[in-house]
Structure 1
Amino acid sequence: MKKFFINIPLLALCTTLTVVSCNTSKNLNTNLPKDISERPADEDSQKYEQAQLDKIKASIESEALKEKCTDASEWTFAPMGAKACGGPQQYVAYPKKIETTLLPRIEDYTQKVKTFNEKYNITSDCMMLIPPTSIKCIAGKAMLIMAEQ
């Protein structure tokens, strides 16, 4: 009977130590580097940087397209992107009321494309893109009108 009373505190002590030791392993050190499985495989590659540029471009285009075009005089356009030989990759139409927020993003994107082109020695078709002459609202969307249209 005496051994039985000695085993109970010993069992309680072992149980307490087990619970405490399991609980302390949950403390995470936030200063540790990210797990390699969470990092994109090609973070420093041309493909990764192109994907980042594509995201920025899509974001700019979607912001410009949020507004319905009802009056073409309330819209304008700007060159966007950069060809390796020089000149813009495209023109984008956007409402004048968001010009102060959108234009710096377009310029930032264009500069990033220029840097990308230089870094990876990108070549392009070197065809000059003619700027649009005006904007028309067709079915609620702003359409860029070129000289030949």
Structure 2
Amino acid sequence: MVKTWVKMGMGCVLLWAGVASAQETSEPEARAGYQSCDRAEIDQLESEALALAAPGGCEDVGQCRSAPVGAKACGGPRSHVVYCATSTDEDRLLKALERLEKREGQFNQQCDVFSTCEFISPPELELVEGQCRAVTPS
């Protein structure tokens, strides 16, 4: 039997005497790829990154910042995190968010993840009682 990998969208489909998905085939390389499609690592990286963001401690809204979180399959971030630049180790936060984005991008491609293609804009920021937060649209 002949195996062929065909690029379709952001992932691969295994064609083998008909169509078989990674989870349906007994091929070891396909099974290994399917088993790695567990979001636990992505969730852990996101939790670690968000724990670094401190929204409190600012005295002026100009000290408030937002940063993109994750990677949608269509491109762009899934959301944004709001934090105070004076009370957050910004370098550490941005590096953690970059690791998350890179790993989630790999995950999306490897696991054939689909998403909406809408752009998630950075939020407008406000300072309320020393806490940075996204402005809630009325």
Q: TM-score range by the shorter chain?
A: 0.5 to 0.7
Q: How far apart, CA to CA, are the structure 2 residues paired with 1:57 and 1:139?
A: 27
Q: Secondary structure at the match of 2:65?
A: strand
> In the TM superposition, what are the counterparts of 1:72-83 in structure 2 within 5 Å?
72-83=61-72
Distance 1:76 1:52, change over 3 A: same
TM-score by length of 1: 0.59
Q: Secondary structure at the match of 1:108?
A: helix
> In the TM superposition, what are the counterparts of 1:1-149 in structure 2 within 5 Å?
44-47=35-38, 50-65=39-54, 67-97=56-86, 98-133=89-124, 135-145=125-135, 148-149=137-138
Count of aligned pairs between the two proteins: 102
2:55–2:132: 8 Å Cα contact kept in structure 1?
A: no
How much has 1:57 moved relative to structure 2? Answer: 0.7
Q: How far apart, CA to CA, are the structure 1 residues paired with 2:56 and 2:132?
A: 9
Q: Which structure carries more helix by proportion?
A: 1
Identity of matched residues, %? 28
Q: Which structure carries more strand by proportion?
A: 2
Residue type of the partner of 1:121?
D
Residue type of the partner of 1:128?
F
TM-score by length of 2: 0.63
Structure 2 gaps of 5+ residues are 1-34
Distance 1:93 1:66, change over 3 A: closer
How much has 1:108 moved relative to structure 2? Answer: 1.2
Q: How far apart, CA to CA, are the structure 1 residues paired with 2:99 and 2:75?
A: 16
Residue type of the partner of 1:115?
Q
Residue type of the partner of 1:93?
V
How much has 1:94 moved relative to structure 2? Answer: 2.1
How much has 1:138 moved relative to structure 2? Answer: 2.8
Structure 1 window deviating more from structure 2 (96-105 vs 118-127): it is 96-105
Residue type of the partner of 1:78?
A
